[in-house]
Amino acid sequence: MTETVDLRVADLHPAVDDPALNSMNFLNEVAQHYPDAVSLAAGRPYEEFFDVAALHRHLERFRRHLADDLGQSPAQVHRTLLQYGRTKGIVHHLVARNLAVDEQLTVDPEAIVVTVGCQEAMFLVLRALRADPRDVLLAVAPTYVGLTGAARLLDLPVRPVRGGPAGIDLADLREQVRLARAAGLRPRACYVMPDFANPSGTSIGLADRRRLLDLAAEEDLLLLEDNPYGLFPASESGRPPTQSGRPPTLKALDTARRVVYLGSFAKTVLPGARVGYVVADQRVAGADGTVGLLADQLAKIKSMVTVNTSPIAQAVVGGALLEHGCSLVAATVRERAAYGRNLRHLVDGLARRFPAGTSPVRWNVPAGGFFVVVTVPFRVDDALLHRSARGYGLLWTPMAHFYDDGAPVDALRLSVSAVTPEQIDLGLDRLAALVADETARRAANAEVG
């Protein structure tokens, strides 16, 4: 008996059957299937400091801000918090203050669009930039899968640029621009995560940041700077990031409006608010000669995607910002300490279990953020993840999910954000067992073969 069917996947937008959109689903399903496994896969923020009472406090703090600081009447306060509202958001002035305080970045609040998480910010920017089928996006590979997925939904091809240990290979970027143009394509922008990138963990140094900006100007490219992890350097000192040698953001170095800056509060305030933003101060000329901000074009698009970001969710973020004088560096002292501790613990633990000289296992040592990439002497695919989960009780993310070409990859991503040091120890013991068994298995197969 065949089941009644109303539609076929082939009749829907091709993105729904694309690996980029199915990757997260697949990883979530594996995680749900093995709920007792140690997860070094999840990039979620630490939950230890979560506090439902803070929701009420932040809401009330922002309500008082509207009344006391902005002089809104009770009726206006009600309208701001509960009614349809400004498409570009109601916490834009606080976001601008935050960027000034934490990033020494001066931004016109009117150039900010508050979005439903950073994901919507990326989606709006890609929708605006994909004007016709010649348009392509460049992105440092490996790439955050949310970027690839959003591009897929918008029929915007993503062409990889080599990342490498320096975070971006500038010669390759220039070459990819040339190749795309030679093929009649129009590279609109290059997506990059300069600080503690997901998934690679790498950062771009100050000199390369300046070179990247110069290259963008020469090649007439925009840079999409995504910065969810910048406040989490893993310095032993526990000093705040601005005093710990982290270079300025691309946007802070940008004197020619080449950078569209994508911001997230998911890791610094809380994921459940689903509040992010985009700084888009580029000047856009209309057909009639008027000049406005790219932010206003993004807002028009937003009005047809989500209308506006929930003012209640914005109020929670706004209250959290106000509570700390708009400094998220100040707000995340505990989180920074926990992530730094975990990252150091993971790297030390890898060194103990895979000694240089005797083990072929390699990894990078990120200066901060959530992720470490481990390279092993065999292919790392979804089948291996299943074996790891089932046989060893350990979850991680195959790096192949962050490349778009389906080529074999011999690396996996470990995340330290949602675990304790004890779970890291347990997870690394299991990883060592997995690696030993896989190495032995392959050696045996090689002898037989």
Tokens 């994909």 correspond to 130
Q: Are 264 and 118 in contact (CB under 8 A)?
A: yes
Spatial strand order of the sheet with 158-162 comes to 112-115, 276-279, 259-264, 222-226, 186-192, 135-141, 158-162
Candidates 47-55, 226-234, 391-399, 440-448 — which segment interacts with its own copies by CB under 8 A? Answer: 47-55
User: Measured between alpha carbons, how far is 279 from 105 in angstroms, rounded to an integer?
Assistant: 11
Among 408, 358, 318, residue whose Cα is nearest residue 61: 318
Hey, CA dihedral for 266, 197, 93, 151, is it positive or negative? negative
Q: Does 334 bind its own copies (CB under 8 A)?
A: no
- CB-CB contact of 222 with 330 (8 Å): no
Q: Residue 371: helix, strand or coil by DSSP?
A: strand
In the complex, minimum distance from the CB of residue 300 to its own copies, in angstroms, rounded to a whole number: 5
Strand order of the sheet with strand 371-375? 362-363, 371-375, 411-415, 397-398
Q: Which of 182, 285, 446, 448 binds its own copies (CB under 8 A)?
A: 285
CA distance 272 to 292: 33
Task: Tell whether residue 300 is a contact of its own copies (CB under 8 A).
Answer: yes
Residues 111-150: x/- map of binding to its own copies (CB under 8 A)? -----xx-xx--x---xxxxx--------------x--xx
Copy the structure tokens of residue 189.
């922008």
User: CA-CA distance, 183 to 178, in Å (whole number)?
Assistant: 9
One residue of 15, 31, 100, 433 binding its own copies per CB under 8 A: 15
Which member of 166, 185, 253, 301 binds its own copies (CB under 8 A)?
Answer: 301
Residue type, 353: R
Subset of 69-108 contacting its own copies (CB under 8 A): 75, 77-79, 81-85
Q: Which stretch binds its own copies (CB under 8 A): 10-18, 171-179, 243-251, 426-434?
A: 10-18
For its own copies, the binding residue among 5, 182, 356, 446 (CB under 8 A) is 5
> What are 433's two structure tokens?
């067992």
How many residues does the structure list for the chain? 449
Q: Tell me the Cα Rg of the chain.
A: 23
Q: How far is the CB of 335 from its own copies (least distance, A)?
A: 13
Q: Is the dihedral of CA 104, 418, 306, 304 positive or negative?
A: positive
Q: If binding means CB under 8 A, how many residues of this protein chain bind its own copies?
A: 85
**Please, what is the minimum distance in Å from the beta carbon of residue 135 to its own copies?**
9
**Pattern 19-38, binding to its own copies, x per CB under 8 A?**
-xxx-xx-------------
Please tell me whether residue 171 binds its own copies under the rule CB under 8 A: no
Tell how far CA 165 is from the center of its chain: 18
In the list 157, 160, 248, 271, the residue contacting its own copies (rule: CB under 8 A) is: 271
Window contacting its own copies (CB under 8 A); options: 53-61, 206-214, 236-244, 403-411 = 53-61
Q: What is the DSSP letter of 2?
A: P
* 7 vs 356, beta carbon nearer its own copies: 7
The nearer residue to its own copies, 202 or 264, going by C-beta atoms, is 264
Give the residue with the Cβ less far from its own copies, 122 or 380.
122
Least Å from the CB of residue 356 to its own copies = 36
Instruction: Verify binding: residue 50, its own copies, rule CB under 8 A.
Output: yes
Shortest CB 32 distance to its own copies, Å: 11
Q: Does 227 participate in binding its own copies (rule CB under 8 A)?
A: no
The total of other beta-carbon atoms located within 10 Å of residue 214's CB is: 13
| 128/68 Cα distance (integer angstroms) | 37
Pick the closer one to its own copies by CB: 77 or 384: 77
| Cβ proximity to its own copies, 265 vs 403, nearer residue | 265
HSE-up of residue 46 (Cα within 13 Å, Cβ side): 24
- Of the pair 157, 377, the CB lying nearest its own copies is at 157
Structure tokens at 344: 């150091």
Tokens of 252: 């802070």
190: helix, coil or strand?
strand
Residue in 182, 291, 356, 448 binding its own copies, rule: CB under 8 A: 291
Distance CA 100, CA 92 (A): 12
Cβ closest to its own copies, residue 133 vs residue 360: 133
- Residue 152, interface with its own copies (CB under 8 A)? yes
Of 274 and 336, the one with the shorter C-beta distance to its own copies is 274
Q: In the 8-state DSSP scheme, what is residue 68? A: I
Binders of its own copies among 358-417, rule CB under 8 A? none
Q: Does 312 bind its own copies (CB under 8 A)?
A: yes
The yes or no reply on residue 238 touching its own copies (CB under 8 A) is no
Using the contact rule CB under 8 A, the part of the chain among 208-216, 223-231, 297-305, 435-443 near its own copies is 297-305
Q: Are 94 and 321 in contact (CB under 8 A)?
A: yes
- Least distance to its own copies, CB of residue 309, Å: 7
